[in-house]
Amino acid sequence: MFRFIFGRLAVLIPTFIGVSIIAFSFIRLLPGDPVMLMSGERVMSPERHTELMHQLGLDRPMYVQYFDYLTGLLQGDFGSSIVTKRPVLEDFVNLFPATLELSLCAIIVAVALGIPAGVLAAVKRGTWFDQSIMGVALIGYSMPIFWWGLLLIIFFSGYLGWTPVSGRISLMYFFPQVTGFMLIDSLISGQAGAFKSALTYLILPTTVLATIPLAVIARQTRSAMLEVLSEDYVRTARAKGMPPFRVIGIHALRNALIPVITTIGLQVGVLLAGAILTETIFSWPGIGKWMVDSVFKRDYAVVQGGLMLIAAVIMLVNLVVDVLYGLVNPRIRH
């Protein structure tokens, strides 16, 4: 087992170096220079421009800049924002819990609804119920979620006034950030109504972000279930007169879940991509919105550091999924 994990880790190192080269060189290729943006409409004198380029170290040869960058990375220094001058890592640590909370809620909703929907559709295969579930799932799968989010805002926040428009919690509440998870922090704070408020702020963004994973999981569960249900041992169990609930719930579902778990693991990247759009629409203060804003502000220190950190998170999650899968299913360890 350890060998398996170490093997995976060893593969990660070249990948990580590759990622750092990509993040580094991309950003150097961005048109326009960040110093010009610092003064906006007011034109900067050429001398001052040179001075600032020098101050930011942008006038040094590329390989020197990359080497410095890599050295910094190894010491946990991901650079500092050009706009705010704050360390990138600090902002990431501040903002990541918001994204994580939203993503976890979305994946929980997707699993909690997607698996039962898929199982039911498989069991009632070919019926009206199956067809409508799969129809809805395909619509969800085809959904441009940025548009979906706008529609939900127009209807639930604008027209009905049921849900708040954006943010993480009503600003009337203020408590220190302990875990960074608003749901947990609001409970710790002990302020009346804070948890409920945090929950209402989560509803729409969660719905939007969960849409595609939900559809994928439902579809995947259904096909996995269908495959398992046609296998001999399930037929045998049925033939032996085992109650359908036990057949489906214990024998079939357990085996059908293995591919579904892989699918869920694969949704992490999808979730982070979705978070970019969802957070932009709902002004959710997470890393997706942070990255988009930074791209537009040409804050390339942040884009570069952010790309690295996000890639690191994805690689780590993939590793964990791999290892878990290896635990569940010893056959693939080789």
Partner 1 sequence: MKKLSTLLAATAIATLMAGSAWSKTLVYCSEASPEGFDPGLYTGGQTFDASSRTAYNRLVEFKHGGTELEPGLAESYEVSADGKEYTFKLRKGVKFQTTEYFTPTRELNADDVIFSFERQYKTDNPWNKYVAGASWEYFAGMGFPDLIDKIEKVDDLTVKFVLKRPEAPFIANLGMDFASILSKEYADKLAADGKMELLNQQPLGTGPFTFVAYQTDAAIRYKANPDYWNGKQPIDDLVFAITTDAAVRAQKLKAGECHIMAYPNSADVAELKKDENLTVLEQEGLNVSYLAYNTLVPPFDKAEVRKALNMAVNKQAIVDAVFQGAATVAKNPIPPTMWSYNNAVEDDKYDPEAAKKMLEEAGVKDLHMKIWAMPVARPYMLNARRAAELMQADLAKIGVTAEIVSYEWAEYLKLSSAKDRDGAAILGWTGDNGDPDNFLDTLLGCDAVGGNNRAQWCNKDFDDLMTKAKATADVAERTKLYEEAQVIFKKEAPWNTLDHSLVVVPMSKKVTGFKMDPLGIHRFDGVDIAE
Partner 2 sequence: MAAVETPKNPPTGLAEFWFYFSRNKGAVIGLVVFVVILFLAVFAGVVAPHDPAIQDRAVLLLPPAFSEGGQASYLLGTDAVGRDILSRLIYGARFSLFIGVIVVTLSVISGVLVGLIAGYFRGRVDTVIMRVMDIILAFPSLLLALVLVAVLGPGLVNAMIAISLVNLPHFVRLTRAAVMTERAKDYVIASKVAGAGTLRLMFLTILPNCLAPLIVQATLAFSAAILDAAALGFLGMGAQPPTPEWGTMLAEAREFIQRAWWVVTFPGLAILITVLAINLMGDGLRDALDPKLKRS
Q: Which residues of this protein are in contact with partner 2, per CB under 8 A?
A: 11, 14-15, 18-19, 22, 26-27, 29-31, 125-126, 135, 138-139, 141-144, 146-148, 150-151, 153-154, 158, 222-223, 226, 230, 269-270, 272-274, 276-277, 280, 288, 291-292, 295-296, 303, 307, 310-311, 314-315
Residue 185 in the binding site for partner 1 (CB under 8 A): no
List all residues 6 or more positions away from 248 whose beta carbon is below 8 Å from its beta carbon: 119, 123, 225, 229
Question: Does 159 participate in binding partner 1 (rule CB under 8 A)?
Answer: yes
DSSP string, 156-178: IIIIS--S-SSSSS-TT-----S
The helix/strand/coil state of 180 is coil
273's CB contacts (< 8 A; 6+ apart) are: none
Give the Cα separation of 330 and 192 in Å (integer): 49
Binder of residue 311, out of partner 1, partner 2, none (CB less than 5 to 8 A by kind): partner 2
Applying CB under 8 A, among 147, 283, 328, 332 the residue interacting with partner 1 is: 283
Question: How far is the C-alpha of 305 from the C-alpha of 86, rounded, in Å?
Answer: 12
Q: Which stretch binds partner 1 (CB under 8 A): 39-47, 110-118, 223-231, 268-276?
A: 39-47
- Selection from partner 2, partner 1, none that 94 binds (CB < 5 to 8 A by kind) is partner 1
Q: What does DSSP assign to residue 211?
A: H
* Choice from 61, 126, 161, 241 touching partner 1 (CB under 8 A): 161
C-beta neighbour count of 151 within 10 angstroms: 11
With a CB cutoff of 8 Å and minimum separation 6, the contacts of 12 are 315, 319
Nearest by Cα to 289 from 31, 108, 154, 92: 92
Helices (H), the chain: 2-29, 34-39, 46-55, 62-74, 88-123, 128-141, 145-152, 182-189, 194-229, 232-239, 244-246, 253-282, 287-297, 300-328
Could you say which of partner 2, partner 1, none residue 83 binds, taking C-beta under 5 to 8 angstroms by partner kind? partner 1
Nearer to partner 2, 144 or 190 (CB): 144
Q: Please report whether residue 232 would count as binding partner 1 according to CB under 8 A.
A: no
With CB under 8 A as the contact rule, the residue among 6, 26, 147, 174 that binds partner 1 is: 174
34's contact among partner 1, partner 2, none, with CB below 5 to 8 A by partner kind, is partner 1
Say which entry of partner 1, partner 2, none residue 177 contacts (CB below 5 to 8 A, set by partner kind): partner 1
The reply to whether 36 sits near partner 1 by the rule CB under 8 A is yes
Q: Does 114 bind partner 1 (CB under 8 A)?
A: no
Q: Is 157 in the site for partner 1 (CB under 8 A)?
A: yes
Give the Cα separation of 149 and 9 in Å (integer).
Answer: 38
What torsion do the CA atoms of 55, 58, 62, 67 make, to the nearest 10 degrees? 40
Residues that bind partner 1 (CB under 8 A): 31-34, 36-45, 48, 52, 55-56, 80, 82-86, 91, 94-95, 153, 157-162, 164-168, 170-174, 177, 191-194, 197, 280-283, 285, 289-290, 293, 298
